[in-house]
């Protein structure tokens, strides 16, 4: 008798487990229907490869999510309370909450371009009235609960018939194959840079597709270098928002000197005597911030004039910056002077330039000397007007030429560890060398040349590249912005906060004669006027900081955030300042086609 009761109990649990698997599978299909809203935001593929990857990744991903919800929240209850009525009601409530959460995530993704996370949840909660319009947020959960209860009861009544069909293993095989195949296809797509595949990387929540670019490239699969030959994807970004209307009265030559890892606080007479004096004689923006702490994010903000959240937009792999497009239209010759190993993202950022690379043989200082020589030869032989970008790289690696006579070591203004003190003074030697190169270039130019000297990013004193990549302190992003603007006030010290994003609007309006509002092509307004925003976005789409008047909020790709004081020296125990951060998220979606 006891054995008989145990057998009945095992049969009941087996039936409940079978029912739970089918309930999870069908909820995976419902999740796919809800998840279609993500595709409304990012757009549908236009090729067979894109559609094939989208289908298998969608089936695999949402089925996996549904199964994980079942495994974590429902399966344990099946063993603890193996009663069908209790389990059906409980499972329906769990499924309803899960689908509502997914639906809420689609709303947030459409508005902010981010998935739910601690940071985004706090932000969205403060912006709830704008996100949830009307009464649908009341009606929808009730409707979903009714569907889930109906589904749970329908499956329970027919579970024996379904089990007799013996198709469960086939369904598991198909879903499993889709899941595995989607990751294998993504490995290939990432290595070969197939944008119709990588375009969906961030589309779905909790999606971490496998990558193996270095492995695949070692087997000879086409990589990023051949991207220019690929067909552009469907346009999802309106950049610029309207056709540019530009008519220039004069066409001065323009030189942009962009130095890797150039800190603003070391532009002093002892370290960089020429640049310190040049700053006093020309327009000096003393509170200037780069768009990022790395080469890519800093250069992106400098030439595109957009906040770093746009840096992963697929369109920009095929769309060069508006400013270089307009320079070409107005007959400018564009020259880029950097080293052979310099690459930048997005891939179209330097498309309009004639690139003249210096050789790189384990010394950026030697390469910088050659870049300066290449620039001077080019400007002497190129007809006006011209726009040249000189990228000097020595400070990034603390480099100086062999035999370089440096300057005296000094005590740092801030407290440094012993190893940091060594790097600090070696960095100063490198800056002194760069100062001499800048003086050499500027001395050879006409007074009518528009000269912009800035840092692509700042510098912290560490040999740990990982530490440098996540540090978004003022030391990493506070850079000089010094401009010699012909016929403008000389010796003008500008003390309001400016950003790299403001350089493009300044040149476009005052030199190229563009009448479009800066918002058509930039995330900021011209450097020449105080900003109307109380915040600055620094970083890219993976990790970024929001600089506000008295605090700095750092957010990583997983939505974890920390708030620091304005000197980045103390972590603050406080909640997000929601209104400004809502503006940040909206700016990050403003140029996308909805």
Q: Dump pLDDT digits (tens) for 116-146.
A: 877 777 777 767 666 666 656 778 899 999 9
- What confidence category does residue 430 fall into, taking pLDDT thresholds of 50, 70 and 90? very high
Report how far residue 176's alpha carbon sits from residue 181's, in angstroms, rounded to the nearest whole number: 8
Work out the burial of residue 263: count CB atoms within 10 Å of its CB; fewer than 13 is exposed, 13-18 middle, 19 or more buried.
buried
Pairing relationship of beta strands 254-259 and 450-455 according to DSSP bridges = parallel
182 close to 203: Cβ distance less than 8 angstroms: no
Determine the structural domain holding residue 322 and report its residue range: 256-587
Cis peptide before 346 (omega within 30 of 0): yes
Strand order across the 544-547 sheet: 536-539, 544-547, 551-555, 561-565, 571-572
Q: Of 229, 244, 269, which residue constitutes the final position of a domain?
A: 229
Report how far residue 327's alpha carbon sits from residue 354's, in angstroms, rounded to the nearest whole number: 13
Which CATH number does the domain housing residue 298 bear?
A: 3.40.720.10
Q: What own/partner pairs with CB < 8 Å and gap ≥ 24 does 210-218 have?
A: 210/183, 210/184, 210/186, 211/186, 211/187, 212/187, 215/187, 215/191, 216/187, 216/188, 216/190, 216/191, 216/192, 217/191
Lowest-confidence range among 293-297, 394-398, 524-528, 567-571? 567-571
Backbone angles phi, psi at 257, to 5 degrees: -100, 115
- Give Cα separations from 156 to 9, 21, 124, 153, 164 (angstroms): 17, 12, 38, 5, 14
Helices (H), 166-248: 168-192, 195-198, 213-218
The residues, ordered by sequence, that sit 6+ positions from 466 with a Cβ below 8 Å of its Cβ are: none
Vertex 8: Cα angle to 5 and 11 (nearest 5): 150
In the predicted model, is pLDDT for residue 422 greater than 80?
Answer: yes
Name the nearest CA neighbour of 490 among 277, 272, 221: 277
For residue 236, is it within any domain? no
Report how far residue 238's alpha carbon sits from residue 521's, in angstroms, rounded to the nearest whole number: 9
Q: Check whether residue 54 and residue 178 sit in a common domain.
A: yes
Cα-Cα-Cα-Cα torsion 90, 91, 97, 102, nearest 10 degrees, comes to: 170
In the predicted model, is pLDDT for residue 226 greater than 50?
Answer: no
Q: Check whether residue 274 and residue 141 sit in a common domain.
A: no
Report how far residue 116's alpha carbon sits from residue 108's, in angstroms, rounded to the nearest whole number: 7
Q: Check whether residue 573 and residue 463 sit in a common domain.
A: yes
* Predicted pLDDT at 1: 53
Q: Check whether residue 196 and residue 269 sit in a common domain.
A: no
Report CA 53 to chain centroid distance, whole Å.
Answer: 23
For residue 397, is it within any domain? yes
Report how far residue 321's alpha carbon sits from residue 239's, in angstroms, rounded to the nearest whole number: 9
* Predicted pLDDT at 457: 97
Q: Check whether residue 64 and residue 172 sit in a common domain.
A: yes
For residue 235, is it within any domain? no
Lowest-confidence range among 48-62, 309-323, 444-458? 309-323
Q: Check whether residue 223 and residue 269 sit in a common domain.
A: no
Strand order across the 254-259 sheet: 354-358, 333-339, 386-392, 254-259, 450-455, 481-484, 283-289, 493-499
Q: Of 229, 264, 291, which residue constitutes the final position of a domain?
A: 229
Mean per-residue pLDDT, 190-194 = 79
For residue 131, is it within any domain? yes
For residue 34, is it within any domain? yes
In the predicted model, is pLDDT for residue 5 greater than 70?
Answer: no
* Predicted pLDDT at 227: 45
**How many Cα atoms sit within 13 Å of 431 on the Cβ side?**
30
For residue 154, is it within any domain? yes
Q: Check whether residue 311 and residue 204 sit in a common domain.
A: no
* Predicted pLDDT at 535: 92
The single-letter DSSP state of residue 237 is B
Please give the tally of structural domains in the chain: 2
Name the nearest CA neighbour of 479 among 248, 298, 282: 298
The more confident residue out of 539 and 125 is 539
Lowest-confidence range among 21-35, 425-439, 531-545? 531-545
Q: Check whether residue 222 and residue 299 sit in a common domain.
A: no
Residue with tokens 């911030």: 289
Lowest-confidence range among 38-52, 72-86, 95-109, 345-359? 38-52
**How many Cα atoms sit within 13 Å of 158 on the Cβ side?**
10
Q: Of 210, 229, 248, which residue constitutes the final position of a domain?
A: 229
Q: Check whether residue 170 and residue 287 sit in a common domain.
A: no
Q: What SS3 class is residue 196?
A: helix
Report CA 227 to chain centroid distance, whole Å.
Answer: 20
Cis peptide before 594 (omega within 30 of 0): no
In the predicted model, is pLDDT for residue 421 greater than 50?
Answer: yes
Mean per-residue pLDDT, 479-487 = 94
* Predicted pLDDT at 7: 61
Report how far residue 105's alpha carbon sits from residue 99's, in angstroms, rounded to the nearest whole number: 10
Backbone angles phi, psi at 533, to 5 degrees: -100, 145
- Sign of the dihedral through C-alpha 12, 14, 17, 21: negative
- What confidence category does residue 212 fall into, taking pLDDT thresholds of 50, 70 and 90? low
For residue 237, is it within any domain? no
In the predicted model, is pLDDT for residue 220 greater than 90?
Answer: no
Cis peptide before 385 (omega within 30 of 0): yes
Cα-Cα-Cα-Cα torsion 178, 184, 190, 194, nearest 10 degrees, comes to: -60
Mean pLDDT of the chain: 88
Q: Check whether residue 173 and residue 308 sit in a common domain.
A: no
Lowest-confidence range among 127-141, 363-377, 397-411, 438-452? 127-141
Report how far residue 403's alpha carbon sits from residue 538's, in angstroms, rounded to the nearest whole number: 38
Question: Has this prediction a pTM greater than 0.85?
Answer: no
Name the strand (E) or helix (H) holding 161.
helix 136-165
The residues, ordered by sequence, that sit 6+ positions from 136 with a Cβ below 8 Å of its Cβ are: none
Output the six-digit token pair for 281: 């004689």
Q: Check whether residue 569 and residue 454 sit in a common domain.
A: yes
For residue 504, is it within any domain? yes
The residues, ordered by sequence, that sit 6+ positions from 529 with a Cβ below 8 Å of its Cβ are: none
The more confident residue out of 31 and 193 is 31
Q: Check whether residue 487 and residue 385 sit in a common domain.
A: yes
């Amino acid at each position: 008798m006891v054995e008989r009761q145990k057998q009945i109990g095992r049969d009941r649990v087996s039936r409940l487990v079978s029912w739970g698997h089918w309930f999870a599978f069908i909820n995976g299909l419902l999740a796919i229907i809800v998840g279609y809203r993500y595709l409304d935001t990012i757009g549908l593929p236009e090729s067979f490869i894109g559609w094939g990857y989208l289908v298998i990744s969608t089936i695999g991903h949402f089925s996996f999510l549904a199964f994980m919800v079942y495994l974590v929240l429902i399966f344990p209850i099946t063993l603890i309370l193996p009663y069908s009525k209790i389990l059906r009601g409980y499972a329906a409530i769990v499924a309803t909450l899960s689908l509502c959460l997914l639906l809420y995530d689609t709303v947030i993704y459409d508005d902010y371009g981010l998935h739910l996370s601690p940071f985004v949840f706090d932000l969205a909660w403060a912006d709830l009235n704008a996100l949830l319009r009307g009464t649908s947020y009341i009606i929808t959960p009730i409707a979903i609960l009714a569907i889930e209860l109906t589904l749970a009861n329908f499956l329970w009544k027919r579970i024996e018939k379904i089990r007799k069909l013996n198709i469960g293993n086939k369904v598991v095989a198909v879903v499993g194959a889709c899941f595995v195949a989607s990751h294998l296809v993504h490995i290939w797509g990432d290595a070969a840079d197939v944008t119709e595949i990588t375009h969906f990387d961030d589309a779905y929540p909790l999606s971490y597709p496998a990558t193996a670019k270095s492995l695949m490239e070692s087997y000879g699969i086409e990589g990023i270098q051949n991207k220019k030959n690929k067909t552009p994807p469907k346009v999802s970004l309106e950049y610029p928002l309207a056709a540019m209307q530009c008519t220039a009265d004069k066409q001065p030559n323009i030189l942009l000197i962009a130095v890797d890892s150039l800190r603003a606080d070391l532009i002093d007479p002892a370290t960089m005597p020429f640049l310190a004096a040049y700053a006093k004689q020309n327009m000096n923006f003393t509170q200037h911030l780069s768009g990022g702490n790395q080469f890519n994010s800093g250069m992106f903000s400098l030439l595109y004039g957009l906040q770093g959240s746009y840096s992963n937009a697929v369109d920009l792999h095929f769309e060069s910056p508006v400013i270089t497009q307009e320079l070409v239209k107005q007959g400018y010759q564009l020259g880029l002077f950097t080293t052979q190993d310099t690459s930048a993202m997005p891939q179209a950022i330097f498309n309009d330039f004639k690139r003249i690379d210096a050789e790189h043989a384990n010394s950026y200082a030697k390469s910088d000397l050659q870049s300066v020589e290449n620039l001077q030869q080019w400007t002497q032989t190129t007809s006006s007007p011209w726009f040249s970008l000189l990228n000097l790289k020595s400070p990034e690696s603390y480099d100086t030429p062999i035999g370089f006579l440096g300057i005296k070591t000094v005590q740092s203004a801030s407290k440094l560890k012993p190893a940091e003190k060594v790097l600090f003074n070696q960095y100063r030697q490198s800056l002194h060398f760069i100062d001499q190169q800048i003086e050499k270039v500027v001395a050879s130019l006409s007074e009518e040349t528009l000269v912009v000297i800035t840092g692509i990013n700042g510098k912290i004193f560490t040999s740990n590249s990982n530490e440098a990549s996540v540090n978004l302190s003022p030391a990493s992003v506070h850079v000089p912005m010094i401009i010699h603007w012909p016929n403008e006030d000389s010796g003008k010290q500008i003390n309001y906060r400016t950003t790299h994003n403001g350089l493009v609007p300044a040149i476009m309006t005052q030199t190229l004669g563009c009448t479009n509002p800066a918002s058509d092509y930039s995330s900021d307004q011209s450097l020449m006027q105080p900003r109307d925003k109380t915040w600055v976005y620094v970083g890219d789409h993976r990790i970024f900081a929001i600089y506000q008047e008295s605090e700095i909020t750092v957010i990583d790709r997983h939505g974890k955030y920390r708030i620091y004081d304005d000197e980045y020296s103390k972590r603050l125990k406080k909640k997000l300042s929601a209104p400004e951060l809502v503006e940040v998220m909206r700016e990050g979606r403003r140029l996308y086609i909805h």
